[in-house]
C-alpha cells in the first residue's frame, strides 16, 4: 500500500493554517490529502478554523460560536503567520470546497468535526446536507475526537469513510471498529510509537507526523496515511522508501 501524505490544516508548515493559501499550497505540493477542522458560527455557518476561539490565529478575540460570519470575515487570519499573508480571511467550508473543485482536486478531503471541547447543535447535519447537495471530485473522509460526532455523522451518512481520532484512549475507537461505524483510526504518532498498534489490524493515519524519523517509520510500515504539516517532506521521504 502506498501511504497517503495528507496536509494537516492545509500546508500548515508553510502557510497560515486552515486558510485558502494553505490549501492551495497543499494542492500545489501534490499532497494525496488535505485535513481541516470545522466549527459553527453564531449564525449557523460552517467555519474552517482549528481552535474554538479566534485568539491564536487572528487579530481578534472571542469564541467562533459567539461570532457571526460577517464578524469572523472582518478578522485577519494571515498576519499571525507572516506579514506577507496580511488580509487572509477565515474561510467557510463552502469556500474551501469551491477551491478544491476549481483545482480538480481528487485526493482525500479529511474533515474533522472540532467538537472535542463542546458539541455544536446541528453541525453534523449541516455538513451532511451540504455534501449531499453538491457533486465533488475528491474522496471525503470524516473524523472526530468526539464519539458523539462520529455516531451522528455515521447515522446520517453511513457510506462516507469515517475515522476515530485519539491521543490515548482507544475504547470508543475499538467499539466503533467492531460495529463498522469507522474504517480507520487517526491516532497521535506518540500513541503509535508506544503501543502495539498492529494488533487491531485497523487502517491507520497518524498525526502529526513531521520528523524524518516518524515519517520513515510510517512509510516502512505502509500505514494508510500520515497527516503532516510538511507534505513536500513527506512525499520526498515516501519516494525514497516506497518508490
Ligand atoms: O486530524 C488530525 C489532527 O488534526 C488532529 O488534531 O488538534 O490538529 O485537529 P488537531
Ligand atoms: Mg484537525
Minimal-distance CA residue to ligand 1 atom 3: 207
| 92-139 confidence digits (pLDDT tens) | 999 999 999 999 999 999 999 999 999 999 999 999 999 999 999 999
Q: Whole-angstrom Cα distance, residue 45 to residue 40?
A: 6
70 three-state secondary structure: helix
**Residues with a CB atom less than 6 Å from ligand 1:** 8, 35, 37, 50, 112, 143, 165, 186, 207, 227
Minimal-distance CA residue to ligand 1 atom 4: 8
- CATH architecture for the domain at 4-34+104-242: Alpha-Beta Barrel (3.20)
For residue 38, how far is its CA from the centre of ligand 2 (angstroms)? 9
Atom of ligand 1 nearest to the CA of 50: 9
pLDDT at 201: 59
CA angle 124, 127, 128 (to 5 degrees): 85
Catalytic residue numbers read: 8, 50
Among 150, 165, 210, name the best residue to mutate to test ligand 1's pocket (greatest count of ligand atoms within 8 A of Cβ): 165
For residue 96, how far is its CA from the centre of ligand 2 (angstroms)? 15
Q: Which helix (H) or strand (E) holds 21?
A: helix 20-29
Among 6, 11, 35, 36, name the best residue to mutate to test ligand 1's pocket (greatest count of ligand atoms within 8 A of Cβ): 35
| Share above pLDDT 70 across residues of the chain, in percent, rounded to a whole number | 97
Give the start-to-end residue ranges of the domains of the chain.
Answer: 4-34+104-242
pLDDT at 135: 98
Chain centroid offset of residue 200 CA: 23
Which residues of the chain fall short of a pLDDT of 50?
Answer: none
Q: Which segments of 74-146 does DSSP mark as H helices, in order? A: 93-102, 123-132
Work out whether the CA dihedral 168, 169, 172, 177 comes out positive or negative: positive
Among 37, 150, 168, 191, name the best residue to mutate to test ligand 1's pocket (greatest count of ligand atoms within 8 A of Cβ): 37
Buried b (16+ CB within 10 A) or exposed e, 217-239: bbbeeebbbbbbbbbbbbbebbe
The ligand minimizing its distance to the Cα of 12 is 1
The complex scores an ipTM of 0.99
Question: Could you give the dihedral angle defined by the CA atoms of residues 230, 220, 34 and 100, in that order, rounded to the nearest 10 degrees?
Answer: 110
| 185-201 confidence digits (pLDDT tens) | 999 999 999 877 665 55
Minimal-distance CA residue to ligand 1 atom 7: 50
pLDDT at 197: 63
pLDDT at 1: 84
Q: Whole-angstrom Cα distance, residue 168 to residue 145?
A: 11
Cell of 182: 469507522
pTM, two decimals, is 0.97
For residue 228, how far is its CA from the centre of ligand 1 (angstroms)? 10
Atom of ligand 1 nearest to the CA of 37: 9
Cell of 179: 460495529
For residue 91, how far is its CA from the centre of ligand 1 (angstroms)? 18
The residue behind cell 451518512 is 157
Q: Where are the beta strands (DSSP E) in the chain?
A: 4-8, 33-40, 46-48, 108-113, 139-144, 161-166, 184-187, 203-204, 225-228
For residue 207, how far is its CA from the centre of ligand 1 (angstroms)? 7
CB 131 within 8 A of CB 86: no
Q: Which helix (H) or strand (E) holds 234?
A: helix 231-242
Question: Could you give the dihedral angle defined by the CA atoms of residues 168, 157, 63 and 84, in that order, rounded to the nearest 10 degrees?
Answer: 90
Amino acid at each position: 500500500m502506498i501511504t497517503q501524505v495528507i496536509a494537516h490544516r492545509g500546508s500548515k508548515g508553510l502557510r497560515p493554517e486552515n486558510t485558502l493559501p494553505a490549501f492551495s499550497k497543499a494542492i500545489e505540493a501534490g499532497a494525496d490529502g488535505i485535513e481541516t477542522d470545522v466549527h459553527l458560527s453564531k449564525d449557523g455557518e460552517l467555519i474552517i478554523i482549528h481552535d474554538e476561539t479566534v485568539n491564536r490565529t487572528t487579530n481578534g478575540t472571542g469564541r467562533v460560536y459567539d461570532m457571526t460570519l460577517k464578524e469572523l470575515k472582518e478578522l485577519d487570519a494571515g498576519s499571525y503567520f507572516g506579514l506577507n499573508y496580511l488580509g487572509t480571511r477565515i474561510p467557510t467550508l463552502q469556500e474551501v470546497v469551491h477551491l478544491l473543485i476549481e483545482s480538480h482536486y481528487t485526493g482525500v478531503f479529511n474533515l474533522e468535526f472540532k467538537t472535542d471541547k463542546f458539541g455544536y447543535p446541528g453541525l453534523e447535519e449541516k455538513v451532511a446536507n451540504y455534501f449531499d447537495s453538491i457533486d465533488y471530485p475528491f474522496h471525503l473522509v470524516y473524523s472526530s475526537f468526539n464519539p458523539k460526532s462520529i455516531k451522528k455523522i455515521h447515522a446520517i451518512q453511513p457510506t462516507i469513510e469515517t475515522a476515530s481520532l485519539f491521543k490515548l484512549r482507544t475504547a470508543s475507537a475499538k467499539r466503533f471498529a467492531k460495529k463498522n461505524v469507522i474504517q480507520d483510526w487517526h491516532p497521535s504518532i506518540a500513541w503509535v510509537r508506544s503501543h502495539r498498534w498492529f494488533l487491531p489490524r485497523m487502517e491507520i493515519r497518524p498525526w502529526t507526523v513531521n520528523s524524518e524519523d516518524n515519517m520513515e517509520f510510517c512509510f516502512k510500515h505502509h500505514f494508510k496515511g500520515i497527516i503532516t504539516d510538511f507534505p513536500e517532506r513527506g512525499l520526498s521521504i515516501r519516494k525514497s522508501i516506497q518508490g
